[in-house]
Amino acid sequence: MRFHEFELTESSRGVLFRTPGDPFVSRANPDDVLKFDQAQYFPSQDPNSQYTTIEELNAAKIQAEKQFPKIVWVNKPTNSTLAFTVITLIDAQQQKRYFGRFFSQIFANMAGKWGNDGIPGYELNIKSSKKSKSGLKPTDIFQLGKSFASAGEIIEDAKTKLEPNLAAGLGMLLQKRMPVFSEEKERLPAIRDDLGETISVVALWQGMIGGDAEDARKFLLKNQPWSSCSITFPAGKNNGLVDSVLRPKKGVAIGISAKGAAGAKASASNIYAGIQLLRSTGQESVVDQYPEAVQILETINTESAINGPFVLGIDYGLCTRDDWALAIEAIKNGYKQVPNGPKWKNITKLMSHIASQKSNAPNYSVGYHALAGLAKIVADTVNSQAPKFSEACITFLNSSPLIQIHTDAKSDANGVMITGFRPIWPPQFKGQVKLNAGKSYYTTDAINKFAFGF
């Protein structure tokens, strides 16, 4: 049995699950900032709540317009809309601004029902939201899996998707010049981190990156130039460890892991990408040394954020399939209290592993609370009872035909400039790897799979 209905990311949670102080910035005037205050539900926050008739909804709407002066409705009610929500934002003068949206009903899980871009004239300005919709990752620009024979082919393809100033900056690589992106000061993180996945592999193909990259070329390509390889961008916005692949005419495929700034933190599924690289290069014997670690990583990689902890929990005797079904029931129905009955005993026990109850928080659910508790004890169990897990993860990462490339950039009044590249080869992951559930699993939702940290 598998339950696949629920998997949330930061960008998918939407307006209704913002935290106080989250800024929404005017698209026309960056100095015009509204900060999130609260969300309210009408007729109530209870799951499946709705007014019984259109007339009752209209009466509530009239009352809301008195309670929330100058409220802006972002959509219009229809014959099927029998509920609404109101969010309060605060401007620089500490004046309250109100926005409302109609729904057919108040659902048990309102995540994503009102998108972060759903405030007319404004956009959410937190880092994760801006990056999630930058539109500058290879997955946004190219036909994934297509093989490019040259850097020129990549640039020509990119021109059909990118704004002229971005395409012009990228094109500078064909003259072996560091890209400059005029009038893009505000998008430095997206250019460095997201467009950087294209910039770094093109710069490598052009022979613009020396140091460890040059050592890798001599060893992996037997002194052939990078330009003897084709370039492919693998599918999947969260593909994992590898952002692009260089394929020589002979020999193994070479993965490129592009990083901006200090490098983004990876999920446990990233390590699994290292296993795949080892298997694809005939090094199954390395993988076979660590069967328990491989099983753990395969489960995390293939299961959803919600299902993964339950599959592992059953493997380690930490929960049962009945617990799994009850937790999903609680999530689907938005239970805010544990129902009576002995079958819920283990759910209560799982919840006890998370100290903070937060039962009055928006979208709090007994099911999410139990999941967070289970994820915590699964991570603790793997870290303490699977002694070769850390060794296996380090081995999988460092045995891969993988080049890490950190892209450096700066901005000034004229725009964003790529200032250099810092390649690392062979991979030099060191220390101890541990599973971490604390940044992914909460009493209100599951925003990602297990993370790992060194």
Stretch 153-166: mean pLDDT: 92
| C-alpha R_g of the chain | 25
For residue 277, give its domain range.
138-287+395-434
Residue 148, judged by CB atoms within 10 A of its CB (0-12, 13-18, 19+), counts as buried
**Helix/strand/coil for 70:** coil
Tokens of residue 239, six digits: 């593909």
- Asked whether the predicted pLDDT for residue 144 surpasses 70, the reply is yes
Q: What local confidence, expressed as pLDDT, does residue 135 receive?
A: 79
Which residue from 173, 126, 117 is spatially nearest to 150, judged by alpha carbons? Answer: 173
Q: Is the domain of 382 the same as that of 404?
A: no
Q: Which residues contact 345 (CB under 8 A, 6 or more apart)?
A: none
Stretch 43-51: mean pLDDT: 84
Q: Is the domain of 146 the same as that of 250?
A: yes
Q: What is the pTM of this model?
A: 0.57
> Tell me: the pLDDT tens digits for 174-213?
999 999 999 888 888 889 989 999 999 999 999 999 999 9
Q: Is the domain of 406 the same as that of 271?
A: yes
Q: Is the domain of 142 the same as that of 253?
A: yes
**Top-confidence range, 268-272, 284-288, 361-365, 450-454:** 284-288
> Tell me: the pLDDT tens digits for 330-342?
998 889 899 999 9
Q: Is the domain of 122 the same as that of 18?
A: yes
- Asked whether the predicted pLDDT for residue 399 surpasses 80, the reply is no
> Tell me: the pLDDT tens digits for 70-122?
999 999 888 889 999 999 999 988 999 999 999 988 877 777 788 887 898 88
Contact predicate 326/368, CB 8 Å: no
Distance between CA 108 and CA 106 in Å, rounded? Answer: 7
* % of the chain at pLDDT higher than 70: 89
**What percent of the chain is helix, strand and coil (3-state, nearest 5)?**
40, 20, 40
Tokens of residue 226, six digits: 């990078």
Per the domain annotation, does 445 fall within a domain?
A: no
The DSSP H or E segment spanning 98 is strand 96-103
Q: Is the domain of 399 the same as that of 383?
A: no
Per the domain annotation, does 444 fall within a domain?
A: no
Contact predicate 355/393, CB 8 Å: no
Which residue from 276, 268, 287, 323 is spatially nearest to 448, judged by alpha carbons? Answer: 268
Residue that finishes a domain, picked among 357, 387, 417: 387
Q: Which residues contact 430 (CB under 8 A, 6 or more apart)?
A: 394, 454
- Asked whether the predicted pLDDT for residue 3 surpasses 50, the reply is no
Tokens of residue 102, six digits: 């109609």
Q: What local confidence, expressed as pLDDT, does residue 11 receive?
A: 47
Per the domain annotation, does 307 fall within a domain?
A: yes
Q: Is the domain of 73 the same as that of 164?
A: no
Q: What local confidence, expressed as pLDDT, does residue 359 receive?
A: 66
Q: Is the domain of 275 the same as that of 403?
A: yes
Q: What is the residue-averaged pLDDT of the chain?
A: 86
238 pLDDT band, cuts 50/70/90, is very low
Q: Is the domain of 60 the same as that of 175?
A: no
Per the domain annotation, does 71 fall within a domain?
A: yes
Q: What local confidence, expressed as pLDDT, does residue 253 receive?
A: 81
**Top-confidence range, 259-268, 277-286, 336-345, 436-445:** 336-345
Q: Is the domain of 152 the same as that of 117?
A: no
Stretch 49-78: mean pLDDT: 93
Q: Is the domain of 144 the same as that of 125?
A: no
- What is the tally of structural domains in the chain? 3
Q: Is the domain of 115 the same as that of 186?
A: no
Distance between CA 36 and CA 21 in Å, rounded? Answer: 5
Per the domain annotation, does 53 fall within a domain?
A: yes
